[in-house]
Structure 1
């Protein structure tokens, strides 16, 4: 018997305390619970976690959530536990062998199993999940299948075989950003027939975010401008860098030059430190995070007033994902991209995969040379060599994806150079149409300043929860 809209509303009110669903949630839940493979593209802040938490009250078997980041898994596990929606557990590299075995022996006791793709593809894990039986498989941040799989974390490319082995009765793919081409790629890489998949696609538009690009002459000027912007904007924000070292350096500089609490966040920090920083930011004990792209996925914080990109993102997909972390409370917020001549060189270099000569590939494949002979990207190259790609075919295999990365970077360049409305270009990239808004972007409002954006008041922190920040903030108000 198909679940009804009235039943879903009752579950929403009873277990989550909401009077109504957000756009896209109800049709997604209806499709998933009726057994339709579903791809839901809902903007940041649209409540995607509810789309696998609510089904727990309908589905009797465990729900498996494939998630890309340990910090994201931990955050979701904590939220489920805090709100009493059931027992949740993680399966990833943070668990020892003994801990992993204990979880596998008690799978039936969990309603939610969060797992990384690298862990999911292990034969013993798949065997245990098949033996238990799965009620729903959720692929969170599903755009990673298209954008990451070919040249970063290629285990995403093995999810097609995983789904064939698990054969779950329900499948849900979730993401905030996926233009038509990426949606088609996601489904193809998972071995799904596009016409047999229900797609729920809401607009990426976030009307409360003002988009701006600031062109600067050089690196020194860019650093000075960043410092000035952070002082002027105040409140809580995220600054994205492509360099771990520069994220560290600028966090130190901002901490010294302002009254703000600032920290850096990147994959070079150990998992415990990353979790600590994330929790401090979520609890308003930090004002500014200087981060690489490792930070932000799944961050559900409603009072971020700005996102600044110090370096050029590799694609509009990444950019819209990252700036969408601002203004989730619906209040005015701003996304600023700082741009100096030559900024495009860094993402170009990050997109390139250096492939050694075929004889070296053959010797590594035959174990006549160590994997280190493959260079810095040896893990990616070795993955393909051990999964049926012949050394002579590797360059041709990766060429289409390299061309796609170059095209995505060209779209990012177009965003920088567009004359007129930047939001219109974003809509065009994502296959949407819309009219420019009064508070839209620097193309529509060239004389903008942070003061003209009506950013919400910068509240004084709670004295008991954060005495250090309270003292610093109070000092600012009286100086």
Structure 2
């Protein structure tokens, strides 16, 4: 095992830090000792260091499984900015001769980033099997539990993928995983709990004030949203469940406030999304109206507020998203806006029409075409192609639906609280809750908007700017990214 002096030398010389943050050293030492490790550390805890530092102390490459191209690109860019040239990203945009060249020289890379989907490609797997790998990293590991089986089912294949590339030591990273999700992650990766080292730190962010604003209808919700945006210091993020509404409200808020407000969602081009991220980081955008596609990998420490226009589907997602506020430790706010009926939207977005076992059996036996399975035929075909039995598929989807209902009810319990919201969240994530000093949440500070003391916002081009909306967007999307 590498000695402590070598770890600290690397920490200072390569990464520019004098000491480890809470949880970092324990995680790295566990990996260097050869243990599979699950690290549940709060947002802003420096999780990328947990695999980057050991990569310089272990022989062979590191494969990092990441859910989003934008998140992978961000990590690749940061490594290259720090002088690391042996880094590559495997995704659907890499094909033809360029992909062949990368695969032939894969052993020369220290960091290999990949999506779960690309790892199911036989040519990719064959290339990975030919090279020495010291570690496999699953970033945002809660996705294994949160996204299967009804969304990105390739996450369920990660156990077999790891086995096929020689069982390298495993690092699972996430910021939000209550005990149930931790158990589910280990189960779906085929891991024995007693053989996995866990590094768990509190999800509590005491500088984020927690509030719920109950309104009677959407008009009242919009009015309250405008009041919040006008009074809270930026930068900020507003989360929506609808791409269309995110775009409409962004334009409306710009017209009402004069702030530079832009939408962000998965329906935009990768280039436009990348530019928005860069401009937001530079304070050239004051407010983002986003779907859940925005946030992973956004390391901006001065976000002062996160507002949820729509009800999140579960507390794990909620904690992930509000955790993007106040990473500098300064006063910040998380506000959830709720109107009666909002709970119907998460149910609609996750609803899947299940076929019968008989119908799946006939498709599996090629007596019927997959088209009879409807809009989700590709999803069901995935499981049939990977040797899942029809009854097994239906049981998994029904269990997933039951868990979604339970998770949504917990979300409704949170917004209905008359007692401390922070205590409720910590209890959900399996933590002991002590006494909290104000300002904590709206249970003890109902007139919080006028009472909280925020740091002076960073002056930037967005502050008070009365730019024309369409002209500003054209400038944003046409100007080169520095």
Cross-structure match for 1:294: 293
Query: Aligned to 1:395, what secondary structure does the other structure show?
Result: helix
Aligned to 1:123: 122
Instruction: Tell me how far apart the structure 2 counterparts of residues 160 and 30 of structure 1 sit (CA, whole Å).
Output: 23
User: Would you say 1:205 and 2:204 are equivalent positions?
Assistant: yes
Q: 1:166 to 1:396 in 2, by over 3 A?
A: same
SS of the aligned residue for 1:16 comes to coil
Does 1:226 find its partner at 2:219? Answer: no
Shift, 1:358, TM fit: 4.2
Q: Whole-Å Cα distance in 2 between the matches of residues 368 and 390 of structure 1?
A: 16
Answer yes or no: is the 8 Å Cα contact 1:62–1:135 preserved in 2: yes
CA distance in 1 between partners of 2:297 and 2:257 (Å)? 28
For 2:472, the equivalent position in structure 1 comes to none
Alignment partner of 1:411 is 2:413: no
Report the Cα distance in structure 1 between the residues aligned to 2:384 and 2:169, rounded to whole angstroms: 33
235 and 33 in structure 1: CA distance in 2 versus 1, 3 angstrom threshold: same
Residue ranges of structure 2 left out of the alignment (5+ in a row): 468-482
- Structure 1 residue matching 2:117: 3-state secondary structure: helix
Aligned equivalent of 1:282:
281
Is contact 1:421-1:436 (8 Å) kept? no
- In 2, Cα distance between equivalents of 1:331 and 1:233: 14
Give, in whole Å, the separation in 2 of the partners of 1:151 and 1:229: 36
1:57-72, aligned counterparts within 5 Å?
57-72=56-71
Taking the aligned partners of 1:304 and 1:471, their CA distance within structure 2 comes to 17
Question: Cα RMSD between the aligned structures?
Answer: 1.7
Structure 1 residues 282 and 370, CA, compared in 2 at 3 Å: closer, same or farther? farther
CA positional deviation for 1:473 = 7.7
SS in 2 for 1:334: strand
Q: CA–CA distance in 2 between the matches of 1:171 and 1:328? A: 27
Q: What is aligned with 2:389? A: 390
Q: Is 1:136 the counterpart of 2:129 in the alignment?
A: no
1:173-252 equivalences in 2 (<5 Å): 173-252=172-251
Deviation at 1:359, TM superposition (A): 4.9
Q: Do structure 1's residue 445 and structure 2's residue 445 form an aligned pair?
A: yes
Q: C-alpha separation between the residues in 1 aligned to 2:243 and 2:337?
A: 17
- Most deviating of 305-314 and 219-228: 219-228
Match of 2:465 among 460, 465, 472: 472
Would you say the 8 A contact 2:214–2:338 is kept in 1?
yes
Equivalent pairs counted in the alignment come to: 466
CA contact (8 A) 2:2 2:57 kept: no
Task: Give the structure 2 partner of residue 477 of structure 1.
Answer: none
Q: Deviations over 1:264-294 (max 9, x none)?
A: 1111112222212122212222111111111
Q: What's the CA shift string for 1:125-165, capped at 9, x where partnerless?
A: 11111101111110000000111121110000000101111
Cα distance change of structure 1 residues 372 and 24 upon mapping to structure 2, 3 Å threshold: same
Q: Mean alpha-carbon deviation: is it higher for 95-104 or for 24-33?
A: 95-104
Whole-angstrom CA distance in 2 between matches of 1:368 and 1:45: 52
Unaligned runs of 5+ in 1: 475-479
| Residues 1:152 and 2:147 are matched in the alignment | no
Matches within 5 A, 1:327-342: 327-342=326-341
Structure 2 residue 50 is the aligned partner of structure 1 residue 51: yes
Bigger shift: 202-211 or 429-438?
429-438
Cross-structure match for 1:320 = 319
Checking the alignment, whether the CA contact within 8 Å between 2:186 and 2:192 is kept in structure 1 is yes
CA contact 2:286–2:463 (8 Å) conserved in 1: no
The alpha carbon displacement at 1:98 in A equals: 2.6
CA distance in 2, matches of 1:370, 1:332: 57
Which residue in 2 is equivalent to 1:399? Answer: 398
TM-score if structure 1 supplies the norm length?
A: 0.94
SS in 2 for 1:343: coil
Partners of 2:367 and 2:275 in 1: CA distance: 44
Given the two structures, how large is their TM-score scaled by the length of structure 2? 0.93
Describe the shift of the 1:314–1:471 C-alpha distance in structure 2 as closer, same or farther (beyond 3 A).
closer
Task: Provide the residue aligned with 1:109 in structure 2.
Answer: 108
Task: Using the TM superposition, give the Cα deviation of residue 227 of structure 1 relative to its aligned residue in structure 2, in angstroms.
Answer: 1.7
Q: State which drifts further: 11-20 or 353-362.
A: 353-362
> Do the aligned residues in 2 keep the contact of 1:86 with 1:112 (CA within 8 Å)?
no
Conserved? CA contact 1:135–1:168, under 8 Å: no
Describe the shift of the 1:140–1:206 C-alpha distance in structure 2 as closer, same or farther (beyond 3 A): same
Select between 290-299 and 40-49 the one with higher mean Cα deviation.
290-299
Match of 1:33 in 2: 32
Q: 1:431 to 1:19 in 2, by over 3 A?
A: same
Per-residue deviation, residues 58-77 of structure 1 (Å, max 9, x unmatched): 12311110000000000010
